Amino acid sequence: MASSTEGLVPITRASLARYYDKYPAPAISEDVTRLTAELRSLSDNLLEELPLTPGEQLVAEEADRNPPHKVDENLWKNREHIEEILYLLDKSHLSKLKATQEDADIDKFAEDLQVPLQRALKTLEAFQSKNSDFVFNTEGTANQQNDISMFNSEIV
C-alpha cells in the first residue's frame, strides 16, 4: 500500500520559485508610478482640507503598513479593504452628508466607484473560492494558471 505522502516534496521558496518561473507575470504598466504619485497627491490635498477622525486615522495607519509577504494574506487584506470601502460608500453612510451641490457630486462619484469595486470583490471572491477548492482538492492543477490569468485580467 502506497503512503499518502508519496511523491510530495517540502514547499520552500526555492521550489515555489522554480514552479512559478514557468508562469511569468505580465509587466507592470509604466503608468503605475505616475498614477500612484497622483493618487498620493490627491490624498494629501484631501487630508489638508478634511482631517481624519480617530477611526479614519486607524484605517489610514493600516493602509500605510508594509504589505503582507504571503499572497493569500495579501488577497484577504485586499478583500477586507474593498469590503470596508464598499461599506463606507453605502448610501446609508453617505446620506449623513448635508445636501449641497458638492455633496451631490460626491454621491455620484461614490456610486461610480462602487461598480468597479463590487466587480473586483466578486472576482476576488471567485478566485479565492477556486483557490480554496484547489488547495483542498488536488485535482485540476492545469487550471490554476488559467484562474490566475482570469483574475488578473478581470481586476484590471
Residue whose entry in the numeric block shows the C-alpha cell 445636501: 99
Per-residue pLDDT of 74-114, as tens digits, reads 888 889 999 999 988 887 766 665 566 666 777 788 888 99
78 and 43 in a common domain:
no
pLDDT exceeds 50 at position 140: no
Residues 59 and 110 in one domain: no
Residues 155, 127 share a domain = yes
Angle between the 101-136 and 71-89 helix axes, to the nearest 10 degrees?
150
More confident residue, 95 or 41: 41
Give CA–CA dist 83/90, Å, rounded: 11
Tell me, yes or no, whether 145 and 95 share the same domain. Answer: yes
Task: Tell me how many domains the chain contains.
Answer: 2
Positive or negative CA dihedral for 131, 122, 154, 152? negative
pTM surpassing 0.85? no
44 lies in the same domain as 118: no
Q: Determine phi and psi for 14, rounding to 5 degrees.
A: -65, -45
In a shared domain, residues 107 and 123: yes
pLDDT in tens, 109-137: 888 899 999 999 999 998 888 877 766 66
